[in-house]
Amino acid sequence: MFTFLCHVSPIAVPELPEVERAAGLLRTALVGRTIASVSTLHRSAARYLPASVADTLASCVVTRVERRAKYQLLHLDDGRVIEVHFKMTGDWAIGPASLPAPALERVRLVTTDGTRVSLVDGRAFAVMRVHAANASFLPPLGPEPLDAAWSGDLLRAALSRKRGPIKPALLDQRVVAGLGNIYAAEALWEAAIHPNARANRLSLARVTRLAAAARLVLERAPNARYYGHRSADDGHAYAIGDGADEQWCVYDREGEACRRCDGRIRRVEQAGRSTYYCGRCQRA
C-alpha cells in the first residue's frame, strides 16, 4: 500500500538521510522489475534525459539501487546506470499507474507490472540522466559520514588544507560526502563549535567531537524531519515530508532560545547560504 504526501516545501531540501530514504523506496518499487516506458515531461528534465535516450530504457531491468553522497544510482541489466540528483526540491512519487499523475511531475517511469515512479520537482532543477556501462561520471567525493571507518582523524586530514570557516568546509563534498547545509549547522551546534572557526586550526579533540556530532544528527534525522508527514493524500508514496514538523536545534530558528544554554540563535550568511548557530555556547 502506498501512502501519500504533497510536494516538497522549499525548507525540506533533500540531504543525505532524505536521499537514502528515497533510494530505499526505489529499491522496493523497482529492483527486479522491467521498465515499460520512461517519459520526459518538462524541458528542464529533457536537457539531461532527451526522449531519444529515455526510449532506450524500455525493456531494461533494474538490478540494483544505491546511494552515493546525494546521488541515487539505478543499475540496469545492460550495464548502464541512471543517475538521479534531487537538487533542492526533487522527490519521488510512487504508486500504481492507474492513479492520476502527481503534481509537478517531470519524469515518469512505468514498469511492466503497472508501477509508476515519477520524479516530481517544484523548481525543476532535479537531474536524471543515463550513463554508459563502466562510465566514470561522479565528481570527486569524500568519505561517507555514516561509514564505520570515518573518524576524527580522517576529517582532520581533509580539513588540513581548509583555511576558511569550518561550516563552508563541511559542505565541500570532497571533505565529507552527503553532508548538507542543515545537518552541517546541526552538527556544529552538537559539537559546540562556532561556524566561523578556522577549519584547519581545530584540534583533533574538537574535530573528533564534530565527526561524532555529524554522525549523530544524520542517524536521528528521521525523528527530526518527520518523514512521510504531508498535508494531503493523493495515493502516492513520497520520500520527503513537507517540513511542517521539523525539529531542529539551530536551523531556521533565528532569534529563538538555544535548547542547551538559553542563548539566542543567530543567522549569518556563509558562501551564499544561511548558517544558524548559538552565539553563547558555540565557540570558535
Q: Is 81 helix (H, G, I), strand (E, B) or coil?
A: strand
Strand-pairing partners, residue 260, are none
State whether CATH 3.20.190.10 applies to domain 16-131.
Answer: yes
Phi-psi region of 104 (alpha: psi -120 to 50; beta: other; left: phi over 0): left
Question: Which entry of 14, 17, 145, 168 is annotated as an active-site residue?
Answer: 14
What CATH architecture is 152-224+241-278? Orthogonal Bundle (1.10)
pLDDT at residue 225, as a whole number? 60
70 given a catalytic annotation: yes
Question: Which entry of 27, 64, 273, 280 is annotated as an active-site residue?
Answer: 273
Angle at 159 between CA 189 and CA 220, to 5 degrees: 35
pLDDT at residue 234, as a whole number? 86
Angle at 37 between CA 33 and CA 42, to 5 degrees: 125
Q: Beta-carbon neighbour count of residue 3 at 10 Å?
A: 12
269 given a catalytic annotation: no
219 given a catalytic annotation: no
pLDDT at residue 256, as a whole number? 97
pLDDT at residue 239, as a whole number? 85
Q: Grid cell 561522479 — which residue? A: 138
What are the extents of the domains in the chain? 16-131, 152-224+241-278
pLDDT in tens, the chain (284 residues): 333 233 333 345 789 999 999 999 999 999 999 999 999 999 999 999 999 999 999 999 999 999 999 999 999 999 999 999 999 999 999 999 999 999 999 999 999 999 999 999 999 999 999 999 999 999 999 999 999 999 999 999 999 999 999 999 999 999 999 999 999 999 999 999 999 999 999 999 999 999 999 999 999 887 666 455 565 678 898 888 776 667 889 999 999 999 999 999 999 999 999 999 999 999 99
Strand-pairing partners, residue 72, are 67, 84
Question: Which entry of 21, 67, 70, 253 is annotated as an active-site residue?
Answer: 70
Q: Please say whether the beta carbons of 251 and 186 come within 8 A.
A: yes
162 given a catalytic annotation: no
Question: Which entry of 15, 20, 186, 190 is annotated as an active-site residue?
Answer: 15
pLDDT at residue 223, as a whole number? 65
Q: Beta-carbon neighbour count of residue 120 at 10 Å?
A: 25
